Amino acid sequence: MNRKHIGLILLLLVMIFTYPTASIAMESADAQTGHQNDYTGLSERIIKLEKAMNTSPDYSKWFDRITISGLLEAEAGYERMDYDDPGLKNENTSDAVLATMELGIDADIAEHVTGHALFLWEEDDTEPIDLDEGFISISGGDVTFLYLSAGKMYVPFGNFESTMISDPLTLELGETRESAIVVGCEREGFYGSVYVFNGDIDEDGEDSQIDNFGANAGFTMENDDFSLDVGVCYINNLLDSDGLGDSVAETMDADGTALSEYVDGFGAHAIVNAGPFMLIGEYITALDEPEFVSDVPGAGTKSEEISAYNAEVAFTFDMAGKETTVGIAYQGTDDAGDFLPESRVMGAIGVGIFENTSLALEYLHDEFENDDEVDTVTAQLSIEF
């Protein structure tokens, strides 16, 4: 073997033994470079995340503009129904229920702009949870004393203040919840508003449109030992109220009749607080006799001018360190038939047993135009938050 062949063999051996080492070194270098790239990318992502966190909205300030409130009322009651007709058996019923659950949300959207939503559940309601109120309000602030509210609300017809557990008969007759637009003002104790909405009951031959309206006006004053609230209100169709609307619609469907003209409604109230005493007076009435017409000769009908009133007196005092209120009320209606009692006598006592927690007991006696009588005893435990 000559020197040339020996040199080639040595060169091949060197290449064989040195190739794995070089490969490993290159892989190690590539791996190190890859790790460095990964570390660099991770570092960049961390920096970007920190910047994003520093520039994200401050949700704590957003929640400061939201107010959540609520009401729970649990009731236990006993009722005795005495029928004037001897052919009908008297009835005795009792029950314990969660009568009311309310959840309210109020939001300060921007300067002069607020939003309000109120969810309501009631034991006798057909819907599980109802959006009782939901509207937007825009106030003038320091610029003007005017305000505007639009959405689902109880229109400003009637006051319906009461110290009793049961709703007053004036509320049963006149309370009206609609999707409405209200423009109002408040200045130096005086207040007033006008509103429009599309009611559920239309006049005969008229299309569904925004042709319902109303207005209210009043005055309030308050000092350390005395406060006063007096006001009047008007609505152009009392038959569209929550209490009357469904009944009127069912009657028209059953009789095949239509409302000839809207029935104007009027209300007035006065609430006086003098020291521990509170006086409440309210009156709601229709201004016209409802008239229903039909294409069938002789099928039309005419009703009387329905009305309701409420008179209450209450006294608040301290009993064993607990604020206690005792009240009595006399309420009644005219030309309400069997829809509402002709007269109601009632009394109630309520005690603030803990903070935002009260316990109340109420007794009422109803008499109807057909001489039926109802006696009801209700105990209520309620909390507000």
What pLDDT, in 10s, does the model give residues 48-71?
656 655 655 555 676 789 999 999
User: Are 138 and 226 part of one and the same domain?
Assistant: yes
Question: Does some domain include residue 373?
Answer: yes
User: Are 65 and 151 part of one and the same domain?
Assistant: yes
User: Are 44 and 76 part of one and the same domain?
Assistant: no
Question: Does some domain include residue 204?
Answer: yes
Res 43: pLDDT = 67
Rounded distance, CA 338 to CA 332, Å?
A: 13
Domain enclosing residue 30, as ranges: 20-56
Res 24: pLDDT = 37
Question: Does some domain include residue 245?
Answer: yes
Res 6: pLDDT = 41
Res 192: pLDDT = 98
Res 14: pLDDT = 39
Res 140: pLDDT = 83
User: Are 39 and 99 part of one and the same domain?
Assistant: no
CATH for 71: 2.40.160.10
Res 27: pLDDT = 44
Res 298: pLDDT = 66
Res 39: pLDDT = 52
How many structural domains is the chain composed of? 2
> What residue ranges of the chain have pLDDT lower than 70?
1-43, 45-60, 62, 125-127, 298-299
